[in-house]
Amino acid sequence: MEFKSKEAIYLQIADYVNEHILLGRWVVNEKIPSVRELAADLQVNPNTVMRTYEHLQQSGIIFNKRGIGFFVSEPARRHIRKQQRERFLDRDLPEFFKNMYLLGISTDEITERYQVYLNENYKDHEDE
């Protein structure tokens, strides 16, 4: 995973976990990688992953079974979509619109490219 300098690493790892849940790679009531496993996979300090898991647990996305590990919660997908949707609409979309305006990009071009992107990247993924 390549980290961006603008956002805390633990939040970027949270986005990584959230994406795995939204894409169905990690499912409800299924154990997710341990703190040590994910830290090794992402080549980060286990304390950073622990901070991520604590953040996600407070958000109701994962839960801890003491001595067993962390699991995806029942309402995880709903919580993730709500949080990320709000963040996208409030923060990312205004910046996107500004760039469209400055670069003279039409909504028709965006729609066309969006469809191509979906076909190339998510043709096997059902939207729920």
pLDDT of residue 126: 53
Q: What's the angle, vertex CA 77, arms to CA 83 and CA 94, rounded to 5? A: 30
Residue type, 33: P
69 SS3 class:
strand
pTM: 0.79
Question: Is the separation of the CB atoms in 13 and 52 below 8 Å?
Answer: yes
pLDDT tens, residue order, the chain (128 aa): 888 888 899 999 999 999 999 999 999 999 999 999 999 999 999 999 999 999 999 999 999 999 999 999 999 999 999 999 999 999 999 999 999 999 999 999 999 999 999 999 887 655 54
Fold designation for 9-76 = Arc Repressor Mutant, subunit A (1.10.10)
